[in-house]
Amino acid sequence: MSDFWIYFQIGLKHVLDINAYDHVLFLIALTVPYTFKDWKRILILVSVFTVGHTLALMLSVFGIVAVKVSLVEFLIPITILITAFFHLFTAGKATKNESLNLIFFVTLFFGIIHGLGFSNYFKTILGGTPTSKLLPLGEFALGIEAAQIIVVFVVLVLSYIVQTVFRFSKRDWALVMSAFIIGVVVPMIISSPIWNR
């Protein structure tokens, strides 16, 4: 049981790490257009991310996929930027099935890319034989899922406060937060090591 908590906490800290705020930024970008009544949709999106993240970790840990770290570091903020821009231009518009499918794809893609970005560190933690890696991967995935639910809950509470106490419209909240995220992510893209080739 102690092994479960070790990998669960690694997953939890992986998302909630203040120095790795790209994960939190993506979750904020993903959540800003929604409210508490959309909790099922948000839970599905968060779970889609976890599936992508775990799949990428599994493929990397078992040596099936290997991607350059500089490319992954570049793609992570790109995916955040796409999500923020999407919500910037669709703020206040009715959600359509096509747009939800796009968000599912971007969320899954982000999960895969982020999983690849974390794979080297995770391989170091795991060590051991391939058969001993499946259970820790599952425990780690549960930690990620729990941390993401915490972040999403905090964003939804802030959204509720801003929209009820400060009288922001849902559209204005989505516009302001999406613009803020874009402002944070663009410098990350500009300073990416991929430009130094």
| Residue 162 banded pLDDT, cuts 50, 70, 90 | very high
For the chain, what are the domain ranges?
2-196
Cα separation, 149 vs 36, whole angstroms: 12
**pLDDT at residue 164 greater than cutoff 90:** yes
Kindly report the backbone phi and psi dihedral angles of residue 3, in degrees, each rounded to the nearest multiple of 5, phi listed first: -60, -40
pTM of the model as a whole: 0.89
Q: In a 10 Å sphere around its CB, with 0-12 CB exposed, 13-18 middle and 19+ buried, how is residue 1 labelled?
A: exposed
142: confidence class by pLDDT, cuts 50, 70, 90: very high
What Rg value do the Cα atoms of the chain yield, rounded? 17
Helix (H, G, I), strand (E, B) or coil at 31: helix
* C-alpha to C-alpha distance for 107 and 80, rounded to whole angstroms: 9
* DSSP 8-state secondary structure symbol assigned to residue 133: S
Q: What is the pLDDT of residue 63?
A: 84
Residue 167 pLDDT > 60, yes or no?
A: yes
Range from 101-115, 154-168, 171-185 carrying the lowest mean pLDDT: 101-115
Torsion sign, CA atoms 117, 32, 175, 99 = positive
Q: Count Cβ neighbours within 10 Å for each residue of 129-142 and write b for 16 or more, e otherwise.
A: eeeebeebbbbbbb
What confidence tens digit (pLDDT) does each residue in 16-64 have? Answer: 988 878 889 999 999 999 999 999 999 999 999 999 999 998 898 888 8
pLDDT class for 133, splitting at 50, 70, 90?
confident
Nearest to 32 by CA among 102, 83, 104, 107: 83
